[in-house]
Chain A
Amino acid sequence: MTYSYYPGCTLKTKAKDLDRYGRLSAEALGVTLEEIENWQCCGAVYPQASDEIATKLSAIRALDAAKGKGQKLLTLCSACHHVIKRVNHDMQTDDNLRLKANNYLKLDEPYLGEAEVVHYLEMLRDEVGFDNIKKAVKNPLKGVKIAAYYGCLLLRPSGVMAFDNPECPTIIEDFIKAIGATPVIYSQRNECCGGYISLEDKPQAQKRVDAIVKSAMDAGAEMIITACPLCMYNLDANATEHRLPVKYFTELLYQALGIEEEKEGA
């Protein structure tokens, strides 16, 4: 299966690992990711105001590029996923935005929300299947207790994101099991880390991070995994009382699939 891939600006810079391990793992699992051409930053925050149009155009361009290739649009960064999925929903449902955005973009054919937006984790679950990942794993992470950190953007608003049960999600835990590790359930896994506020009010972000890390630690976690570069930075840089290693889920997938050794052995 081939997907159009939208890496997002952070994955080209500070979050290169999220991207690199994601690409190599996809390849190993038989999934082809074709980066869309000339994509622009989606803006990182979904414009909630109903009269915003210009701020949604870069997402619409990416969606239209995937539509043009007849592919699903795959995202990896939680924030890109959130923005693009919600803008796509708006293009399916909001006549005013449809009209104005299409008038502005002057595409060969109007874009009306035809593309399907899929997060990398959804691709693993629905396309590859966690059972098949389990079979492909060469280095199971046996005994490692891992806390899945969902944060906000993948799950909410659930009516649009339709990612998983917003209060009791299982997708990342199922991923953790597939790579042979042990998931740890803790109450803060779908509460906000305050990443957006880290520039504006560091103490507020620190308070959120301490609450999350403590909750994960109390449940016995040895590590936290995330799909969001901002969560990753925030959970590490703004932890004051307790600290746990924070990793991208793609890095663990890459390790578990044993891609490294294969390359070295070859």
Chain B
Amino acid sequence: MSNNITTEDILRISGVDTRKCMFCGKCSGTCPAFDEMEYHPHQFVYMVQWGMIDKLMESKSIYKCLTCFACLERCPRNVQPAKLIEAVRQAVIRQQGMNHMTENDIPGLLEDKLPQQAIVSAMRKYKK
């Protein structure tokens, strides 16, 4: 399946320059979601660069990223892999019918102490 999303689209949405990456792997080494991700932050960098966008868009990895900015802070070349992951996620959820989670999913997930912030942030991350 082809999503017609190109390397250029992801670079434009993210504002990232993948050519700065030296593949040191520090971003993936520091990522707290490493075990849960099929593709790791440094792989997002080269897969975007080499046009393997469909694979990333179809991967659960885009929902496993915690948006903690550790990869972004600790990258020695300021590549900012977190922004690439966000751009791929946006490319997916901006498509019609591709929301990962909507308000309708929330009641089933509610707990007594759950703060609004959890819901507001899920809507912003998973839905357009």
Seen from chain A, the residues whose Cβ lies within 8 Å of a Cβ on chain B are 8-10, 13-15, 41, 43-45, 47-51, 55, 77, 79, 151-152, 155-158, 166, 191-192, 194-201, 204, 207-208, 229-230, 232-233, 236-237
B124 near A230 with CB under 8 A, answer no
8 contacts between A and B (CB under 8 A): A41-B120, A43-B124, A152-B69, A155-B73, A157-B69, A201-B36, A230-B115, A233-B118
Query: Secondary structure of the A side of the interface?
Result: loop
Structural contact, B118 and A45, CB atoms closer than 8 A: no
- B-chain residues with CB within 8 Å of residue A195 when the two chains form the complex: 117-118, 121
Q: Which chain B residues in 35-83 approach chain A with CB under 8 Å? A: 35-36, 63-64, 66-70, 72-73, 82-83
Interface of B is mostly: helix
The answer to whether A230 and B117 touch across the interface, beta carbons within 8 angstroms, is yes
Cβ contact of B116, chosen from A9, A47, A152, A191, cutoff 8 A: A9
Apart from A55-B124, A230-B117, list 12 A-B contacts with CB within 8 A.
A14-B114, A41-B116, A48-B87, A77-B117, A152-B67, A156-B70, A192-B68, A204-B64, A233-B115, A237-B111, A237-B113, A237-B114
Q: Is the CB of B109 within 8 A of A199?
A: yes
Shortest Cβ gap from A86 to chain B (Å): 10
Residues of A close to B121: CB separation below 8 A: 43-45, 79, 195-196, 230
Residues of chain B with a CB closer than 8 A to A9's CB: 116-117, 120
Q: How far is the CB of A180 from chain B (nearest CB, A)?
A: 29
B85-114, CB under 8 A of A: which get 1 and which 0? 011001000000000110000100101011
Q: Shortest CB–CB separation between residue A70 and chain B, in angstroms?
A: 30
Taking A43-B120, A201-B36 as contacts, is the C-beta distance between A196 and B66 under 8 angstroms?
A: yes
Q: Which 5 A-B residue pairings sit nearest by Cβ, starting from the closest?
A: A192-B68, A156-B69, A50-B15, A44-B121, A152-B68
Query: In the complex, what residues of A have CB within 8 A of residue B63's CB?
Result: 200-201
In the bound complex, CA of A200 to CA of B33 (Å): 13
Q: Separation in Å of the B38 CB from the closest CB of chain A?
A: 13
Does the CB pair A51–B113 fall under 8 Å? no
Is B119 close to A, CB under 8 A?
yes
The answer, yes or no, to whether B22 is at the interface (CB within 8 Å) is: no
